[in-house]
Amino acid sequence: MTEAEIYAGRDPAIRVTAMPRDTNAYGDIFGGWLMSIMDSAAGLTAARLSKGRAVTVAMDGMQFHQPVKVGQEVSVYTDVEKVGRTSMVIAVEAWRRERHSEEAVKVTEAKFTFVAIDEDGRPRPVGG
């Protein structure tokens, strides 16, 4: 089974279509747009895992492997890599797919660190 096939069978945290408003001056999709949805996807996973508010404290190893074009579907997958006392490291990958094709290609990856916080913005234990 190829890596793409493994990902095709997984539930993404977020799946969205790249739209014309998300492009840069060259007509390709903005790296910042992709980073934003990757952050949102990791945020969903962190909130679920920590059962409450969590914020991004670091983003490491951001890599852009392939471009994304308008109209392509972008699926963002998250994997909890490490859980600390108040922090969580979440590995995130984004994959693109043509609207009318089954072939998926990995376009970006990064590791996001989130910290669970209380209502005063102070770190709280992930396990409650």
Ligand X SMILES: CC(C)(COP(=O)(O)OP(=O)(O)OC[C@H]1O[C@@H](n2cnc3c(N)ncnc32)[C@H](O)[C@@H]1OP(=O)(O)O)[C@@H](O)C(=O)NCCC(=O)NCCS
Q: Which of 44, 57, 59, 70 binds ligand X (CB under 6 A)?
A: 57
Q: Total binding residues for ligand X by CB under 6 A?
A: 13
Contact range with ligand X by CB under 6 A, out of 25-33, 45-53, 84-92, 96-104: 84-92
39: tokens are: 């952050």
Beta bridge partners of 76: 14, 94
Give the side-chain half-sphere CA count within 13 A for 18: 30
Which one of residues 3, 19, 85, 127 is an interface residue with ligand X (CB under 6 A)?
85
- 5 versus 118: smaller Cβ distance to ligand X: 118
Q: How far is the CB of 43 from ligand X (least distance, A)?
A: 9
Residue with smaller CB distance to ligand X, 23 or 56: 56
Q: Which residue has the tokens 């859980």?
A: 83
For residues 95-114, which are near ligand X according to CB under 6 A? 113
**How far is it, in rounded angstroms, from Cα 28 to Cα 66?**
11
> How many angstroms separate the first and last alpha carbons of the chain?
39
Residues near ligand X (CB under 6 A) are 55-58, 84-87, 113, 115, 117, 121, 123
